[in-house]
Structure 1
């Protein structure tokens, strides 16, 4: 994209912004796959190739997200400070830095190469799951809405693991399109992300999942992009496109069973044209990440990436099963049909006709060994997406279970839902059955935490 400098006639290309944050002081364990070397090898490769000297590239220093940026998005139990370190705030804040720079027109796009990752962090956070504590992309979405008034946003998740946290956060939001293509959840963590997960009653088919069979390679990857992702994103007409740029679909990744190449990641990036890419998974530290990240950066900056190829790869190395390819083609057709009919379906027939749509969820925190039982209720409203009520009970080992009650008012809330939600919150305080009670009012950017034992409220406002 180019802009014409008025009165001079010079064409100036906007730059691609980069932020590196290896998080030297954060680790799950010294030998854990999610460690700082994930970014250090990439940085060495990029400097060796002279990428940082290109005029199309601008490197930014990372910055901190605020605690309120997190509480605007999550219910952290018992409080945000209990679940995040400075490294988490810097990883999230780096996305906000690039988001500001894109919206202001300072850069055309950006890539936040940061850790810790975030796309498995859900609305409620009792601990770390899937290496994630808070959701960097979701925090960015809510920040862009509040700070810049952006309404429609598309998130495309290309990680091998289903972005269940991002899906959970926007499952009832009609203004966020979430598309995830990933390794079939029957064969990999977190065991979700199937085609019948299409969004709640007010956001039907704004969630689209493509569970790909293990062994899927570039040809099918590009088929999904060309025939589903690109036409749906174009039809949705988002103001901002975000790529959750997981790289564990690579053929050398130790935690996945897919066969994507660095060149395919670059082709995908060039076609999608995301405004912002945010690093998620990818654990082949030497054999994949330096090549994929380099290719993505070059694609974002509109620089030739044809020379980027892994040393052990040759064209035609991977052959895909015709049966599996046909299966994916059928999935794409099914999802396109769901998308085309999103506003024509009989919502009461699918979700019922009561005051609330309710679902029960069982969530396992594989990193912190926490078991959570959750009931989620969504107010069925004709005028807005409806407020959300969450009742959550979490157990960790022999510790006493923690019970919370949380109310979330959407950014687009009508006056009736907002008023009713505050009544629900006050009633929960009077009943005194939960350890912590939360109010998250996105329409006014106000977050309240009530602790039963202390009988005290903490209010955070943007």
Structure 2
């Protein structure tokens, strides 16, 4: 019998009762074919690999991360809560020492879900990795965490959630946003004024193959992780970089994914995208599981794999080589924060940074406008405030007192909520108080 070098926990949740439509790429078959493949290959007969059932995230678990308007139950289904709970289960297995590592193969996905949620965008409603990470911090104490998002689409939601968090390193390696949804994820996106350099984007050109991905991992991602020294490494394990994926333009292979995972050595992996349901996902997931468990994956080979046919050209290699030369410096020597009124970096007014944002929920057809305000505090990461309105709906207020809040920012947070209640300016108000673990919601 084969024996795993690393004890691996696998959590499945195909979400039988949730789909955007019966023919949509994001549907239950994404995991059913994988589940069958893993069993046929005898994965669970390997000593040290075990399967677990997901937990169910609570409303408070979601409200620890998101401002959901008008409330969590109006935007998220039970399947979303179980998907997030599956990620939380993976975290508990690792944090409590039952498993060395864990892979949450769950859906619906989450990495396009931003701090504020009015609906679904990019097939995502709540950010399951963020819910998991903040569950870890709430239950096991403050941790330095690195998220490496390997989905083909930029993880704009996760970036938004952790834009102002110096304890979270977010690295996204993805197809260039000039060629693919959501049209973001460029090198100049480096984080807020108190977290500059904690966001790093690696936009790769279409048709990048194993060579380019692994080069970027070796020369950019790994040196930065070695310097950051996270307590945990999380892989947002999107699989739509595969050469057969129907909605992207990359040339990554199943064995390439396994090699990348072997390099990264994540403590926890959470499934994100990947829509080649039969031709790629079963093989990619098998390769990732074997790599996480420390078992030989050299025989992994998907149908129609021809390395010569998908090999990247010399121009692509040269472009990625240049990225590898330039991008690490954005982390090791981040530029001074430069606020400007371009709707992205924002403007500084007094002791606060203001950002105007317009967000389109493509899955639900919702337009949102936001005014985000962050206190430029020298004693903590700053109080976070957001005023938000979806389409012609009511104005809503979200206030977050950070986990390291100083007394001044804590008091200001309560003052803003009380002022909003007295004046009646907002239809819904939500307070996230990470310092005191207090989560309040008001509606009128």
TM range (shorter): over 0.9
- Distance 1:353-1:324 versus aligned 2 partners, 3 A rule: farther
Corresponding residue for residue 382 of structure 1: 378
Pick from 163, 170, 174 the counterpart of residue 162 of structure 2: 170
Instruction: Report the Cα distance in structure 2 between the residues aligned to 1:28 and 1:451, rounded to whole angstroms.
Output: 29
Aligned to 2:237: 245
Which runs of 4 or more aligned residues in structure 1 lie more than 6 Å from their structure 2 counterparts after TM superposition?
348-351
Tell me if 1:370 matches 2:360. Answer: no
CA change 1:298–1:85 in 2 (3 A) is same
Structure 1 stretch displaced more, 311-320 or 36-45: 311-320
CA distance in 2, matches of 1:349, 1:312: 49
CA offsets 1:332-383 (integer angstroms, 9 cap, x no match): 33221111113xx434778747311111111100110000111111100001
Q: Name the count of aligned residue pairs.
A: 436
Name the residue aligned to 1:122: 114
In 2: Cα distance, 1:147 partner to 1:58 partner: 24
Match of 1:269 in 2: 261
| 8 Å Cα contact 2:4-2:295 kept in structure 1 | no
- 8 A contact 1:210–1:332 mirrored in 2: no
Q: Deviations over 1:313-336 (max 9, x none)?
A: 133322323233222222233221
Q: Is 1:98 the counterpart of 2:94 in the alignment?
A: no
Per-residue displacement from partner, 1:40-92 (whole Å, max 9, x unpaired)?
Answer: 00011111100011112011111101110001010111111111111111110
Of residues 196-205 and 75-84 in structure 1, the stretch that sits farther from structure 2 once superposed is 75-84
1:459 corresponds in structure 2 to: none
> Paired residue for 1:409?
401
Deviations 1:203-232 (A, max 9, x none): 001000011111111101001100011110
| C-alpha deviation, 1:12, in angstroms | 9.8
Partner of 1:279: 271
The within-5 A match list for 1:40-51 is 40-51=32-43
- Cα distance between partner residues in 2 of 1:222 and 1:14: 22
Is 1:392 the counterpart of 2:388? The answer is yes
Query: Which residue in the other structure is 2:302 paired with?
Result: 310
1:27 deviates by 1.0
Residues in 1 aligned to 2:276 and 2:337: alpha-carbon distance in whole angstroms:
44
> How do 1:438-457 and structure 2 match up within 5 A?
438-452=430-444
CA distances 1:16-39 after superposition (whole Å, capped 9, x unpaired): 000110000111111111000000
Q: Is the 8 A contact 2:152 2:248 kept in 1?
A: yes
Corresponding residue SS for 2:330: helix
Q: Which moved more, 1:262-271 or 1:418-427?
A: 418-427
Q: Considering only aligned residues, what root-mean-square deviation do their CA atoms show, in Å?
A: 1.6
Relative to structure 1, is the Cα distance of residues 161 and 382 closer, same or farther in structure 2, using a 3 angstrom cutoff? Answer: same
Cα distance in 2 between the residues matched to 1:319 and 1:294: 23
Give yes or no for contact 1:16–1:56 (8 Å, CA) kept in 2: yes
Instruction: Pick which of 18-27 and 401-410 moved more.
Output: 401-410
Are the equivalent residues in 2 in contact too, given 1:160–1:181 (CA < 8 A)? yes
What CA deviation, in whole Å up to 9, does each residue of 1:139-159 have, x standing for no partner? 011111110014200000000
The whole-number CA distance in structure 2 between the counterparts of 1:162 and 1:320 is 21
Residues 307-386 of structure 1 mapped to structure 2, 5 A cutoff: 307-342=299-334, 345-347=335-337, 352=348, 354-386=350-382
The CA distance in 2 between the partners of 1:349 and 1:290, in whole Å, is: 45
1:402 is displaced (CA, Å) by: 2.9
Superposed, 1:198-277 pairs within 5 Å as 198-277=190-269
SS of the equivalent of 2:172 reads strand
| Counterpart residue number, 1:8 | none
TM-score (norm 2): 0.95
1:4 maps to none
